[in-house]
Chain A
Amino acid sequence: MSRALPRLDSINRDFWTGGAEGELRIHHCNDCNQFFHPPRPVCRHCLSENVAAKAVAGTGVVDTFTLNYQKWHPKMEVPFAIARVELDGAPGVYLTTNIINCDPQQVDIGDKVKVIFEQQDDVHIPLFEKID
């Protein structure tokens, strides 16, 4: 599917390219040991600047979702599932993403999912699929 791609910079590059090594990388504070997202050069929990992207397990749970039916541009293939995934091991961090490789009608809150990366140009987009 056609996707808008992010403009990479020094702050967001780890998130958007970690998939090249199969890693989902979320910003982490080395002082208070908590994850936060979106990535920024300062920890939102303790204001420390001792932060860096760190790989997480890449699994999570569907917090909520919607099935998009509207063709926001002519080539869009609908319906597809948009979900908000709460990441395992990173409490309070959510990713808006797509649940792929299944019938969208089968997506539900509470589904366990794992990351699967889709590469477009220099960007590795973290999508998710259901795990049994």
Chain B
Amino acid sequence: MSVNEAYITGIGQSQIGVKLDRHPLLLTVDAVKEALAESGLTIGQIDGVSTYPGRVPQMLGFSPVGADDLIDALGIKAKWYAGGGEITSQLGAIVAAATAVKAGLARHVICFRTVYEAGATAKPDEYPMMRRDRVDGGSQWTAPFNAISAANWVAQYAMRHVKKYGLTREQLAQIALTDRAHAALNPRALVREPLTMDEYMSARLVSTPLCLFDCDRYSDASTVIIVSAGDAVDEVKCTPVRIAAMAGSVDRHSWDQAEWMASYQTGPDLWKQTDYTAKDVDTVQLYDGFSFLALTWLEALGFCDIGEGGQFIEGGHRIALDGELPFNTFGGQIGAGRLHGFGFAHEAVTQLRGLGGDRQIKGDPKVAIATSGGGPLATALLLARD
């Protein structure tokens, strides 16, 4: 182990469901306990906490548990912690933790993302929806035009691919079809039934060219990633996975002013940080809150050129579990649930450790990519088992 590196040394995940009764703090504790058991660490060895986006009082379902809550609830003696949404998307919390352990600010950092967006809708008294007479900030540039959802914002970029590069719905469908095929092999996934092309093509439209199955759905779950310093890895009993490279970017957070996908900046930047190339990658876990984001990540990371994503995934064989580039092997957010970014890092580590069970990719995978965001915000991690 190199002392100047950061490693992922434990992963954990709660059950994934819709309108779960279990309190979101307890879902977080479930994921923490699983990660600790796997790593062999005790809570007393944890000296850092990092989360995205921190507790959000005006949208409690979106983020009901902050780093403060977890530190206090578990009696963590933290020397470093951070939580906030102004970062290059969800996996930015892991980038922050890796940077902190490399700087010697902490040895073992719990990184977590807890979502309770479905549960909150069932308990409006406990998790009240944001109510405003008027919109301000970035929302004022979209909400007055009823461009309310990120689906509308992503759809406009997707429409460019349709018009400029000839992306078809049949091609884009392969993201959702692959996700759902893989989710069927993941015991924890939210949706276990495969999706057919006929079902996809006849689904109701949400915002053209995106249909219902191009969108993830509100879920309740927590995912934990433990990041450790290189000189602390010998305290851990499971196979450590090195964070071999990381990159992130923001291209004007107001979606309507961003010229193109932030992933198009972050993908090439990731390769500048490492001697690995796209050819070395055994599996990709790419953010698919909307299917189109995953397609552009494939382009951004250089697996194909910008505009060729549709042809690259056509037919789905290339990105299937037994294909040349197994994709979202846990089902992605479209199949496994809206884990909001952290599920991709969790699965990359699972595959690199060979613990994927029915969905384990063949061979001896050593290099994986996990990403989050892709629109105006983007983060990419290159993970390696040395």
Chain A residues close to B by CB (< 8 Å) = 1, 3-9, 12, 37-38, 64-70, 72, 76, 79-80, 82-84, 93-98, 108-109, 123, 125, 127
Contacts and interface: CB of A to CB of B under 8 A. Distances in A.
A87 to B, nearest CB: 12
13 contacts: A4-B146, A7-B133, A64-B160, A64-B163, A66-B152, A66-B155, A66-B158, A69-B204, A69-B206, A70-B206, A84-B256, A97-B145, A98-B146
B1 interface: no
Given A64-B159, A69-B208, A82-B156, A1 B144 contact: no
Nearest to B147: A82
A8 to B, nearest CB: 8
Contacts of A127: 145
Given A3-B145, A68-B206, 11 more contacts: A4-B143, A5-B134, A7-B134, A7-B140, A64-B159, A66-B208, A67-B208, A72-B148, A80-B146, A82-B147, A109-B159
A121 to B, nearest CB: 10
Contacts, number: 106
Contacts of A72: 146, 148-149
Contacts of A95: 141, 256
Contacts of A7: 133-136, 140
Contact of A12 (B140, B143, B151): B140
B197 interface: no
Nearest to B154: A66
B144 A4 contact: yes
Contacts of B42: none
Contact of A96 (B133, B141, B209): B141
Contacts of A108: 163
A16 B158 CA distance: 29
Nearest to B156: A64
A2 to B, nearest CB: 8
Nearest to A110: B163
A37 B133 CA distance: 24
A6 B134 contact: yes
Contact of A6 (B135, B205, B254): B135
A62 to B, nearest CB: 10
Nearest to B210: A66
Contact of A66 (B133, B135, B148, B156): B156
Contacts of B207: 66-70, 82
A64 B204 contact: no
B157 interface: yes
B160 A109 contact: yes
B257 interface: yes
A5 B144 contact: yes
B311 interface: no
Nearest to A2: B146
B142 interface: yes
B207 to A, nearest CB: 5
A4 to B, nearest CB: 4
A27 B204 CA distance: 40
A96 to B, nearest CB: 4
B208 A38 contact: no
Nearest to A8: B134
A83 B156 CA distance: 8
A96 B256 CA distance: 6
A109 B145 contact: no
Nearest to A3: B144
A7 B140 CA distance: 8
A80 B160 CA distance: 18
Contact of B144 (A68, A79, A125): A125
